[in-house]
Amino acid sequence: MKLRHPFAFALCALALFTSAAPVLRAQNQLTPEEKTAGWRLLFDGTTFAGWRGYGLEGLPAAGWEIKDGLLKTVPKVRGAELITVEKFTDFELSWEWRIAEGGNNGVKYFVTEARRSAPGHEYQMIDDARHPDALRGPLYRTGAFYDVLVPAADKPVKPAGEWNSSRLVVRGNQVEHWLNGRNILTYEAGSAEVKAGVARSKFKNEAGFGDKITGHLMLTYHTDECWYRNLKVRELKP
């Protein structure tokens, strides 16, 4: 097709660019397909609905804020952990997170308020390249069952300052840790492998740690800056 007018050429170029450009998904919203599949938002982008402080009836006095549609920690204050009001047994949790350079945070599950020194299993989220804890070894790096089981050595982690996508799947006693579309750790809660890992860890004297329970989900507070978005969950059949 021959275009004689420069304005017509510009319109054609714009149409081609628009058709080729990726579709940007709205944050903290579910697609119709996700709703049909049973997903529910745990963060709506504007409120703390569905969350409270660990060991508290309401929210912590400090440590968390919502800014630009993101749930984030306020660094270097006397903050506290957030937990879901609801408890879960068999479920799939999906979230996106970004850690500050040198930062550390995590998501815990099977969380109980009856064992304050070891509330639950932790999906570790950390700056693998810089944080002193991560430099201790793979038990303390992103995607690990913190201090108990290591993730895959070739996990596809993105560096501090970039967004990572994580997923946690619990069905029966099987637990899966996912990172950026890849399964990086699978284990059986209460198994001999887990008991051996717990026996080597700082949790060795914590009764019941390593077993599956119906519990809360927790966003930890380790004084470092961390951002969350697109937190969602769906319950599964065992």
Please say if the pLDDT value at position 25 is more than 80. Answer: no
In 3D space, the residue among 155, 151, 156, 154 whose CA is nearest the CA of residue 138 turns out to be 151
In 3D space, the residue among 218, 209, 217 whose CA is nearest the CA of residue 80 turns out to be 218
Name the band, by pLDDT with cuts 50, 70 and 90, for residue 10: very low
Q: What is the DSSP string of 192-226?
A: HHHHHHHHHSTTTTSTTTTS---BEEEE---SS-E
- Taken in order of first residue, the domains within the chain and their CATH numbers are 27-235 (2.60.120.560)
Please say if the pLDDT value at position 3 is more than 50. Answer: no
Dihedral, CA of residue 88, residue 94, residue 99 and residue 105, to nearest 10: 20
| 235 bridge partner residues | 91
> Which tens digit of pLDDT belongs to each residue from 218-236?
999 999 999 999 999 999 9
In 3D space, the residue among 93, 145, 97, 140 whose CA is nearest the CA of residue 121 turns out to be 145
> Which tens digit of pLDDT belongs to each residue from 70-83?
999 999 999 999 99
Please say if the pLDDT value at position 16 is more than 70. Answer: no
Number of Cβ atoms within 10 Å of the Cβ of 113: 12
> Which tens digit of pLDDT belongs to each residue from 137-169?
999 999 999 999 999 999 999 999 999 999 999
Whole-number Å distance between alpha carbons of 141 and 134: 5
> Which tens digit of pLDDT belongs to each residue from 167-215?
999 999 999 999 999 999 999 999 999 999 999 999 999 999 999 999 9
Number of Cβ atoms within 10 Å of the Cβ of 94: 18
Please say if the pLDDT value at position 85 is more than 50. Answer: yes
Q: What is the mean pLDDT of residues 103-115?
A: 98
Q: What is the pLDDT of residue 1?
A: 45
Phi, psi of 145 (to 5 degrees): -80, 100
The tokens describing 62, both together, are: 């400090």
Q: Are 145 and 187 in contact (CB under 8 A)?
A: yes
In percent, the amount of the chain with pLDDT more than 90 equals 89
Whole-number Å distance between alpha carbons of 73 and 65: 6
Backbone Cα Rg of the chain: 21
Q: What is the mean pLDDT of residues 110-135?
A: 98
